[in-house]
């Protein structure tokens, strides 16, 4: 049985079913098509399926022309008909793994998908979970559902876990160029999954079990959440001491070993870092343990929007202004640069704080033309406002790639380092960044630039005219 699947993988005649055509599923599909495989894409959202069929893309950084070409060539077949799952030899699951209202893991998408697979499971299929989750999900949640079909795992069908490491919007690392960790529930499953991914991905790291692969992904994300919290805490302290945290990090990262730079920001965003570590926290509780680092990191990171608001109020106060009635433009609604993904973005929290305090609020984000409805935020309907040429020129803000995030930073750094836009008196001074920023503000006339966020995840800042 496994031999014929191995053969199909080797000669690329295996049909790959990708379940969940979102930020992870679509690039993965593209990697397998590029490697010469025919793919069927499954999604419960009929609107998405219809758009894909029409050669359109609902994710900004995924090129519609490319989707259209793949469909025309017959290499990509999007559908919402889950009964067609039997047509696929390998099924790769990329569905959401959010937290529920009590911040516990919500595995309903994974369970629902596994049940749909079970309905048409046939001998010779390989099922791989890619969604981020806590260790033991593949074996303890998925496997019992599949085994209930009467088919035998490791003999009739094969199961593995391989975490997705997609970094949406990062052109340097596409899905096929990121090493992939793979762990099977048994030797044969691991071997087949390794053989499959080897066809499409630059490097495969085979580990001994799905649990190691699941824990590996959660370690990667927890590592980031904790380190971001550390620099966020240091930013608050160094601000008070008049030390520029960016200068400190720039200096520290010249150490050729033992240090990796993380940057402070106004909060965490996206589907991964604010969520995944809490999957582990929940699991630890079942083992009678606590994950104190994770919880402390969550506490520090979730206070950052409030810190930004306090700083903004202090800044306005120094100009003799109140936040109420001040014109504030929030720059950047997506959770990071070059993407249109607003999930968990702290910009929404900032918006709530600002509106609640009576600010006259607008926003600018060319990737988020209209404010989407968010489950946890009740905000008025708003649309992205064009920046005036004067503000664009002063801040260097345009679209994301060449725009707000990167260029704004350069603007700030130049302002600090080379005296552009502020008095010579402060040239090259990095001792008292807040004052420098304010003198920059005075020189720019009515432009008030607040946050210098360079966070690798989220970097909204403010311009008030």
Ligand X SMILES: NC(=O)c1ccc[n+]([C@@H]2O[C@H](COP(=O)([O-])OP(=O)(O)OC[C@H]3O[C@@H](n4cnc5c(N)ncnc54)[C@H](O)[C@@H]3O)[C@@H](O)[C@H]2O)c1
Q: From CA 270, how far away is CA 451, in angstroms rounded?
A: 20
| Residue facing ligand X at closest CB distance | 22
Among 8, 99, 112, 439, binds ligand X (CB under 6 A): 112
From 15, 44, 64, 202, residue interacting with ligand X (rule: CB under 6 A): 44
Six-digit token string for 245 = 């945290």
User: Catalytic one among 94, 272, 444, 458?
Assistant: 272
Beta strands in 25-157 (DSSP E): 38-42, 76-79, 90-93, 126-129
338 binds ligand X (CB under 6 A): no
Question: Among 20, 97, 5, which residue's Cα sits nearest to residue 59?
Answer: 20
Contact stretch for ligand X (CB under 6 A) within 108-116, 175-183, 330-338, 365-373 = 108-116
* Phi/psi of residue 176, nearest 5 degrees: -80, -10
Give the residue among 61, 7, 54 at the shortest CA–CA distance from 30: 61
CB of 141 to ligand X, least distance (A): 13
For residues 50 and 104, what is the distance between their CA atoms, to the nearest angstrom? 33
CB 306 within 8 A of CB 321: no
- Using CB under 6 A as the binding rule, whether residue 41 contacts ligand X is answered as no
Give the closest residue to 296 by CA, choosing from 228, 343, 353, 235: 228
Binding flag, residue 16, ligand X (CB under 6 A): no
Segment 135 to 154, residues that bind ligand X, using CB under 6 A: none
The smaller minimum CB distance to ligand X, of residues 45 and 299, is found at: 45
Cβ pair 184, 190 in contact under 8 A: yes
Residue closer to ligand X by CB (options 20, 396) is 20
Q: In the stretch 354-383, what mask flags binding to ligand X with x, by CB under 6 A?
A: ------------------------------
**Minimum distance from CB of 245 to ligand X (Å)?**
26
Q: Is residue 169 at the binding interface for ligand X, with CB under 6 A as the rule?
A: no
DSSP letters, 219-241, are HHHHHHHHHHHHHHHHHHHHHHH
Alpha-carbon span 64 to 68, nearest angstrom: 6
* CA neighbours closer than 13 Å in the CB half-sphere of residue 116: 22
Residue 131 engages ligand X in binding (rule: CB under 6 A):
yes
The least distance separating ligand X from the CB of residue 165, rounded to whole angstroms, comes to 6
Binding characters for ligand X, 70-99, by CB under 6 A (x = yes): ------------------------xxxx--
- Residue identified by tokens 């379940």 is 19
Under the binding rule (CB under 6 A), the answer on residue 39 touching ligand X is no
Q: Does 126 bind ligand X (CB under 6 A)?
A: no
- Class of residue 325 by CB neighbours under 10 A (exposed 0-12, middle 13-18, buried 19+): exposed
Rule CB under 6 A: say whether 118 interacts with ligand X: no
Structural contact between residues 296 and 234, judged by C-beta atoms closer than 8 angstroms = no
The 260-299 contact track toward ligand X, x by CB under 6 A, reads: -----------xx---------------------------
Among 166, 211, 244, 340, binds ligand X (CB under 6 A): 166
In the annotation, is 90 catalytic?
no
332 binds ligand X, rule: CB under 6 A: no
40 scored as a contact of ligand X (CB under 6 A): no
- Alpha-carbon separation of residue 329 from 134, 186, 416 (angstroms): 39, 54, 22
> Any contact of residue 19 with ligand X (CB under 6 A)?
yes
Alpha helical stretches, state H, 178-209: 187-200
Owner of token pair 């990262």: 253
Closest to ligand X by CB, 19 vs 249, is 19
> Catalytic residue positions?
272
For binding to ligand X (CB under 6 A), which residues are involved?
Answer: 19-25, 42-45, 48, 94-97, 109, 112-113, 131-132, 164-166, 168, 271-272
């Amino acid at each position: 049985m496994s031999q014929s699947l191995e053969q199909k993988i080797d000669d690329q005649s295996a049909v790959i079913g990708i379940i969940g055509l979102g930020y992870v599923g679509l690039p993965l599909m593209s990697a397998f098509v590029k490697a010469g495989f025919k793919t069927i894409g499954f999604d419960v959202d009929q609107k998405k399926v219809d758009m894909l069929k029409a050669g359109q893309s609902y994710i900004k950084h995924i090129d519609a022309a490319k989707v259209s070409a793949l469909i025309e060539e017959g290499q990509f077949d999007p559908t919402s008909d889950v009964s067609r799952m039997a047509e696929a030899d390998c099924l790769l699951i990329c569905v959401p793994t959010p937290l529920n209202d009590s911040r516990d893991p919500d595995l309903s998408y994974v369970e629902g998908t596994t049940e749909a697979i079970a309905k048409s499971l046939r001998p010779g299929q390989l099922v791989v979970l890619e969604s981020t989750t806590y260790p033991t999900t593949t074996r303890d949640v998925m496997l019992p559902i599949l085994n209930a079909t009467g088919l035998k795992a490791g003999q009739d069908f094969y199961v593995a876990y391989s975490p997705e490491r997609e970094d949406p919007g990062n052109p340097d690392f596409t899905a096929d160029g990121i090493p992939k960790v793979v762990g099977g529930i048994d030797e044969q499953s691991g071997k087949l999954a390794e053989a499959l991914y080897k066809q499409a991905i630059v490097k495969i790291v085979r580990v001994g079990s799905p649990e190691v692969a699941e824990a590996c992904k959660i370690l990667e994300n927890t590592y980031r959440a904790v380190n971001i919290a550390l620099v966020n805490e240091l930013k608050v302290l160094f601000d008070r001491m008049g030390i520029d945290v960016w200068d400190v990090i720039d200096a520290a990262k010249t150490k050729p070993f033992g240090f990796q730079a993380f940057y402070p920001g106004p909060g965490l965003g996206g589907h991964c870092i604010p969520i995944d570590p809490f999957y582990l926290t929940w699991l630890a509780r079942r083992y009678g343990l606590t994950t104190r680092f994770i919880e402390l990191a969550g506490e520090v990171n979730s206070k950052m929007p409030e810190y930004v608001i306090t700083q903004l109020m202090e800044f306005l106060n120094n100009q003799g202004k109140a936040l109420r009635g001040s014109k504030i433009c929030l720059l950047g609604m997506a959770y990071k640069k070059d993407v249109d993904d607003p999930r968990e973005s702290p910009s929404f929290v900032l918006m709530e704080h600002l509106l609640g305090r009576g600010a006259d609020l607008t926003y600018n984000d060319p990737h988020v033309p209209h404010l989407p409805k968010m489950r946890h935020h009740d905000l008025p309907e708003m649309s992205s406002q064009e920046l005036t040429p004067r503000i664009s020129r002063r801040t260097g803000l345009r679209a994301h790639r060449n725009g707000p995030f990167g260029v704004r930073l350069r603007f700030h750094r130049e302002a600090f380092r080379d005296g552009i836009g502020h008095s010579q008196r402060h040239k090259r001074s990095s001792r008292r960044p807040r004052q420098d920023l304010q003198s920059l503000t005075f020189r720019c006339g009515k432009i008030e630039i607040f946050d210098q966020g360079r966070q690798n995840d989220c970097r909204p800042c403010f311009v008030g005219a």
